[in-house]
Amino acid sequence: MSVIIQFAIGLVFGLGLVVSGMSNPAKVINFLDLAGIGAGSWDPSLALVMMGAVAAAFIGFRLVLRQPRPIFGKEFQLPAKTEIDSRIITGPAIFGIGWGLAGFCPGPAFVALGYGTSAAILFVIAMFCGMAIARALASRSSASSLGASAILD
């Protein structure tokens, strides 16, 4: 049942991206082009979409976290780590650079796959390659730190 609910939520999210135009990379790039240097003119509509998303998430988290447990789970999966480290800085920086260059982030890229554009296909392939590289680097980093701690013991 939970997979069906998650699928329905994904469909609503994708529909929202299509209706708002956020699955179109040109719209995103026009938002990032504050100086109007590119082909289009500055488009502030992405800021409105982001403000709506932040407001909905703010209210949603407040309401949901009042519950003793999730509807489709045993407990809430909240981050335990609160300190800022290099991964928290570099990950979003790489995400932002990719978003600015391609005009896609993961959600809209998957929606744009439905259009069959080569840009969306290439972005999703590059995204999966980047995820694999990041996972390999993280595994290598944790393995080397485990090896270092074994030597120190």
Convert the pLDDT of each residue in 69-103 to its tens digit: 988 788 988 888 888 888 889 888 988 888 888 88
The predicted-structure confidence for 126-147, as pLDDT tens digits, reads as follows 989 988 998 898 888 777 665 5
Read off the pLDDT band of 40 (50, 70, 90): low
**pLDDT value of residue 92:** 87
CA angle 126, 130, 131 (to 5 degrees): 120
Contacts of 32 (CB under 8 A, 6+ apart): 100
Question: Mapped to the 3 state alphabet, what secondary structure does 89-151 carry?
Answer: HHHHHHHHHHHHHHCCCHHHHHHHHCCCCHHHHHHHHHHHHHHHHHHHHHHHHHHHHHHHHHH
pTM over 0.85: no
